[in-house]
Amino acid sequence: MAYFKKSPWLIHYDGSSCNGCDIEVLACLTPLYDVERFGIINTGNPKHADIFLVTGSVNQQNVDIIRNIYNQMPDPKVVIAAGICACSGGIFAECYNVMGGIDKVIPVDVYVQGCAVRPEAIIDGVVKALGILEERYARAKAA
Amino acid sequence: MKTIAIGIAYVLLAPVIGGLLVGLDRIISARMQRRVGPPILQPFYDVFKLLQKKTVVVNRLQNPAIFCHLFFMIATGFLFFEGSDILLILFVLTLSGVFLVLAASASGSPFSHIGAERELLLMTAYEPMVLMMLVGIYKVTDSFHFYAILESAKPLIVYLPGIFVGFLYILTMKLRKSPFDISYSHHAHQELVKGIMSDMSGKSIAMVEIAHWYENVFLLGLVYLFFGFSPALGIVAVILTYVFEILVDNTFARFRWELAFRSAWLVALVLGGGNLIALYALMGGA
Amino acid sequence: MTALLFLILFPLIPAVLLLAVKHDGARGVITRLAVTVIAGASIGLPWLINADLPVYFSFDAAWADKVMFIIEIFLAGLIFFLGVKYKHYLTSVLITLQFALMAWYEFAFSGTVAIQQHLFLDRLSLIMALIIGVIGGLICVYALGYMRDFHDHHREMPDRRPYFFFVLFVFLSAMFGLVFAGSLVWLFFFWEITTLCSFLLIGYTKTTEATTNAFKALVMNLGGGLAFAGAIVWLAWAGGPLELKTLIASPQAAVMIPVALLCFAGITKSAQMPFSSWLLGAMVAPTPTSALLHSSTMVKAGVYLVLRLAPVLAGSYVGAAVALVGGVTFLLAAFIAISQSNAKKVLAYSTVSNLGLIITCAGVGTAAAVWAGIFLIIFHAVAKSLLFLCVGTLEHRIGSRDIEDMDNILIKMPTLAVMVLIGIGGMFVAPFGMLISKWAAIRAFVHAGPVMSPILILLLAYGSAVTVFFWTKWMAKIMEVSILRTGHDPLEDAISYDERFAHWAHTVLTVGICLAFPLVSSRLVEPYVALVFGQAAGMEAGNLMLTGIMVALILILPAIAFPYQRKAGYVFGTAYMAGLNEYPDRMYDGSLSQRRKATLKNYYLAGIFGEEKFMKVGVLAGTCLLALMLGAALL
């Protein structure tokens, strides 16, 4: 049996976010939402993480960084795009520096819209991602 | 024979007990912060999950070193509960720590490197106190062996109050709690990313985590020694010490490494050295 | 007795031969042959002597004494002349005083005090002889390859290798004489020859720095020699005893002053505070010198003497002062070693520190302490020599002796790097010998008395913690790898066979002695201690077994775990650099789009553990303690 559902560790990266979504992500850690109940830990190190939670969109400066962090995460892993900027660029989509949502760089598994994305939505997204993670692990093991 | 059986029991049960203690730690910390906290079996879920991840290494030097770290940590606890010479056991513990530092340095990453240096600083900071503690215990009970010390039924806490308080001070370092978690902190906290663990993943972290559980049980065994003359009191003291450490963890912010280092040496000198001097003055030289 | 005389006199033959031979090949043949004979004779001593140890020999020595005196005149003249020539007048003054004392002894007292045991062999001498013969011999073999490289790299320096090897073998001869000498007069003769050899070898390159440091060493050792001569004259005046064995068995009150003077001599020879600076300065000499004289043998002569005197020192104020000198040196030298990045300086300070620990054991003077002290001598001689030899070769291959340049040597020179790791581990890691000896020392110090015990334990606790720091730091640097293996090791292929042989032999010895530890204890050290102190000392059988198991494990485990990884299916990734692009050899895209290289340096904490600061403290503390020691002797 897989334990990813019981112990999902995530790394949170802020692309070109206005920090609104980041604050909501951090709010999940506060006593009001307390995601540690589900074993979720915000680890700052991609090598320890299962879930890559990205807020904000991709621009020229962070495109390589997002790719590097994604590559340094060990398998199995999932990507969550939190907030509309991460999904598609949001209200900044037409700025000269913004390349778009993070699916321009890495494969995204769960899109969570919102501006800013609400903690309940984030938690929902994480739960969905965990299902995908378990599936991915089972498939990799069978192969 | 009986002691070897206890040693083997340690090897088999300590991860379970250690893991439960860590789980308890997280729940109590959460409650102190007005949260609910994870289930008590969470550390086990973490380790099992880590074992299911792919292990990414930077080079082939890291994992043998981590394996040796785990092995000698288990050896430390096993020898302790089997009743071997605890002065030698201290040095085996140091060996285990050295392997962890080498594992972190092997990766050549800036974050691991700083974590490794800080881990070394911590080791240098707490070793004088531990050595003085062992010498103090020997002076009072004339033995370096766990069971002989317990059998002597001497109330070590009465003879070694300064040393006990000093030991509590550096216990915070060994348990990796604030304010001394300068090389690696608990999962939710970061210190220069993950400090000494920055370039470990999957099985490597799992091994280090399990080694930490073994170490916890061993350290609490050392605490028990001070109160071992009365087993009930010993167990109560162990629990209270652990809760006290959790309280300290949640109350203090991290020290700068210089403050941690200097204060540990000062505490060792004043409390540990002072206790030793008083002990020799009162008990005589032989 | 022939065996002892053979060991003392035989090395002079290759010495003279090597002085004459300029051809490197011939030099190699002579050296290797000579070393085989010397090492073989040292190892075979118990069978060659074929008697129960300890065994004492009388010598109809009147003519030998005269020959020695003539040599002394010549040497004193030489040193006096050199002192004047190089304008180090203190040297000339000291040698004049020393010679005056010895001349006084020769003419006034020479016949009056009966000396019967000129040469002897007991287990401690045997241990020292093994170190001199085997380790010393290996270092001479190493020197063949090393000096060839040295002169290749330093073409501007005059090639005086015949002279170098001549002095090396004379030194071996003198050391054998020192450990077999049963009378203080003979001991002193050989002692002074080793001082001279050290002086000549430090000044080998004849640069200003080398000459200055050579004279610094000479002055301090002559100061010790002066004290030694003073002790001899005092004893001769008092009617004896001038035999080592009788001196050790004498009642404390009668011989405290000469014993204190002898300890003073031992303290200068083994570079304790306040005399540590000469050993540090001696590191400018070529590595074989540093390995042979200044870590394995000559400085061991100093601690050997003080350790011999341990029964007289036990429980006395002089002994306490000596123990404190050793303890303070142990602590302060370890402190300073943290802030050094020059590998030879780290090794030098560590040597001074460990010698301090041995002196402390001698000053405490109990059976358990002396047991620990002898083992410290054995393990330190082997492991430190290994380290010096490896560092010397390393320096020639990578062009630097700075620890910060030693990353990636696991890729460039894997075998050598592993040997350095074993050497460093052998210095401080459980279960290797040095750690075991330190453990025994701690147990001995617990029983050192109500005042001395807490002080010594404190010194040991802090010093021991610090050694973990600077050794592990160095190991961590060696473990640091940031380039890929290419499949062949050009740097390592360039190492000469002589050097490789010496390295391998040392590594095998380092590990082998740890495994043979119980045997060495029961056959050599425990009988000696039992004989001298009348009581047993040693380690419990359980602990011995434990250390043996651990030595085996610490070597086997990594050896198994390393190849196992191929099966484990690990994925290789880059080091975490906060998501920045990483290129080979740790280059990354930094701010302002500049490509930079990430460099990692160890912590040296020069602000906390600075060399200057602690040398000053050491000199002050050492001087005060020595004054106390001499004062206590007068009481």
User: Which DSSP category does B252 fall into?
Assistant: P
HSE, CB side, 13 Å, CA atoms: give it for residue C283.
22
Of B35, B193, B199, the CB nearest to A36: B35
Place of tokens 């506060």: A30
Whole-structure pTM value? 0.93
Taking CA atoms, what residue in C is nearest to A68?
C579
Per-residue confidence band for B286, with pLDDT thresholds at 50, 70 and 90: low
CB B46 within 8 A of CB B22: no
Asked if residue A37 is part of any domain, the answer here is yes
Query: Which of A30, A48, A75, A134 is the best substitution to test chain B (most B C-beta atoms within 10 A)?
Result: A48
Structure confidence by residue, pLDDT tens digits, C583-613: 777 788 888 878 888 888 889 988 888 888 8
Query: pLDDT value at position B285?
Result: 63
Q: Which chains touch C (3 or more CB pairs under 8 A)?
A: A, B
Q: Is the pLDDT of residue B225 over 80?
A: yes
* Residue C468 pLDDT exceeds 70: yes
Task: For residue A75, give its domain range.
Answer: 9-137
pLDDT tens column, A82-114 = 999 999 998 999 999 999 999 999 999 999 999
Report the Cα–Cα distance between both ends of chain A, in Å, rounded: 16
CB contact under 8 A, B188 and A42: yes
> Is C573 in Cβ contact with A72 (below 8 Å)?
yes
Other beta carbons within 10 Å of B259: 13
**Count of the separate structural domains present in chain A:** 1
Token pair recorded at residue C8: 């003392």
Fill in the DSSP letter of residue C52.
P
Q: Is C458 on the interface with A (CB under 8 A)?
A: no
Percent of chain B residues past pLDDT 90, beyond the cut: 64
Residue A2 lies in a domain: no
Q: Using an 8 Å Cβ cutoff, are C476 and C602 in contact?
A: yes
Question: ∠ at Cα C192 (C188, C195), nearest 5°?
Answer: 140
For the segment C31-42, the average pLDDT, to the nearest whole number, is 93
Q: Residue C475 in contact with residue C428, Cβ under 8 Å?
A: no
Give residue-wise pLDDT tens across range C379-389: 999 999 999 99
Q: What is the pLDDT of residues C149-200, one digit of tens each?
A: 999 888 888 888 899 999 999 999 999 999 999 889 899 999 999 999 999 9
Q: Is the pLDDT of residue C126 over 80?
A: yes
**Parallel, antiparallel, or unpaired: how do β-strands C587-589 and C582-583 relate?**
antiparallel
Q: What is the pLDDT of residue B187?
A: 67
Q: Which CATH number goes with the domain that contains A114?
A: 3.40.50.12280
| Selected residues 87-116 of chain A with any CB under 8 Å from a CB in chain C | none
pLDDT at C35: 93
Three-state secondary-structure class, residue C243 = strand
Report yes or no: C201 and C249 within 8 Å, Cβ to Cβ: no
Inter-chain touch C580–A68, beta carbons under 8 Å = yes
Condensed to tens digits (0 to 9), the pLDDT of residues C403-441 reads 999 988 888 888 999 999 999 998 988 788 888 888 889
The two counts, helices (H) then strands (E), for chain C are 30, 6
Q: Is the CB of B188 inside 8 Å of chain A's CB atoms? A: yes
CB C363 within 8 A of CB C316: no
Does A4 reside within a domain?
Answer: no
Going by pLDDT thresholds of 50, 70 and 90, the confidence category of residue C310 is very high
**C121 pLDDT above the threshold of 80:** yes
Interhelix angle C367-398/C414-428, nearest 10 degrees: 160
Asked whether this complex has an ipTM greater than 0.85, the answer is yes
The token duo for B161 is: 């109050």
Q: Is the CB of residue C588 less than 8 Å away from at least one CB of chain A? A: no
Q: Which of C576, C581, C589 sits opposite A47 (nearest CB)?
A: C576
Nearest CB partner across the interface for C462, out of B55, B58, B128: B128
Q: How many residue contacts between A and B have a Cβ separation below 8 Å?
A: 82
Among residues A137, A130, A135, which one has the least CA distance to residue A51? A130
* Cis peptide, bond prior to residue C162, ω within 30 of zero: no
Looking at the complex, report in whole angstroms how far the Cα of residue C265 sits from the nearest Cα belonging to chain B. 30
- Residue C491: the pLDDT is 79
Q: How confident is the model at residue C247 (pLDDT cuts 50, 70, 90)?
A: confident
Q: What is the pLDDT averaged over residues C82-110?
A: 88
| B52/A2 touch (CB, cutoff 8 Å), yes or no | yes
Pairing of strands A41-42, A9-14: parallel
Candidate from B139-148, B218-227, C322-331 with smallest mean pLDDT: B139-148
Among B33, B63, B187, B205, the residue to mutate for chain A (most A Cβ within 10 A): B187
Q: Is A1 contained in some domain?
A: no
Query: Nearest-CA neighbor of A72 among A93, A46, A90, A53?
Result: A46
Neighbours of C184 (CB within 10 A): 25
Q: Say whether pLDDT at B84 is over 90.
A: no
Buried b (16+ CB within 10 A) or exposed e, B111-150: bbbbbbbbbbbbbbbbbbbbbbbbbbbbbbbebbbbeebb
All partners of chain A with 3 or more CB pairs under 8 angstroms:
B, C
Q: What's the sign of the alpha-carbon dihedral B96, B102, B104, B106?
A: negative
* Measured CA distances, B212 to B14, B176, B204, C152, C547 (Å): 10, 9, 12, 52, 24
Confidence grade of residue C262 (pLDDT, cut at 50, 70, 90): very high
Given 3-state DSSP classes, what are the helix, strand and coil percentages for chain C, each rounded to the nearest 5?
75, 5, 20
Residue C370 has pLDDT above 70, yes or no: yes
Of C595 and B219, the structure prediction assigns the larger pLDDT to B219
- Is A45's CB within 8 Å of C576's CB? yes
Pairwise CB contact (< 8 Å): A7 & B52: no
pLDDT per position as a tens digit, B8-67: 999 999 999 999 999 999 999 999 988 888 999 999 999 999 998 888 888 888 889 999
CB atoms within 10 A of CB A76: 21
pLDDT of residue C106: 84
Residue B188 has pLDDT above 80, yes or no: no
* pLDDT exceeds 70 at position B95: yes
Task: Give CA angle at B7 (B4, B13), nearest 5°.
Answer: 140
DSSP state of C274: T
B58:C575 CB<8 A = yes
* Cis status, amide bond into B179, omega within 30 of 0: yes
Of all residues in chain A, the one with the smallest CA distance to B36 is A37
pLDDT tens digits, one per residue of C513-570: 888 888 888 888 888 888 888 887 777 777 878 888 888 888 888 888 887 777 667 7
